[in-house]
Amino acid sequence: MVKTIRVSEEYHKWLSAHKEGDETMEETLRRMTRGPHPGDVAGLLTEEEAEDAKEAVNRLRGRDRDRFDTARSAFESEGTDE
């Protein structure tokens, strides 16, 4: 399956400038972000383990979001005291 992602023209130019040889954009992005090749990680987890991992990530993201919202509220309430 192929997915399309949107990036700004500026970022696309920057990324293109960092391509090496006949690299595809995907290969350049993987190298720049140090992401693994799907073939290197395929089959490491069972479906159940993968679902458990996704749920754990979502829980962590939710906690981070709660912390962010709390901090934002604190800053916003500081500004209204003046």
Q: Print pLDDT tens along the chain (82 aa).
A: 888 989 999 999 999 999 999 999 999 998 898 877 778 888 898 999 989 999 998 888 888 888 888 888 988 887 665 5
Tokens linked to 70: 């709390």
Report pTM: 0.42
Specify the pLDDT at position 79: 64
Q: Show the domain range for 38.
A: 1-43
User: Token pair 């604190």 is at which residue?
Assistant: 74
Specify the pLDDT at position 81: 55
Whether residues 50 and 71 share a domain: the answer is yes
Specify the pLDDT at position 39: 80
How many structural domains comprise the chain?
2
Whether residues 38 and 49 share a domain: the answer is no
* Contact (Cβ atoms closer than 8 angstroms) between residue 55 and residue 48: no
Tell me how far apart the alpha carbons of residues 21 and 68 are, in angstroms, rounded to a whole number. Answer: 42
CA 29 → CA 6, 10, 24, 42, 60, distances in Å? 13, 15, 9, 19, 25
Whether residues 61 and 79 share a domain: the answer is yes
Whether residues 23 and 55 share a domain: the answer is no
Q: Give residue 67's identity as a one-letter amino acid code.
A: R
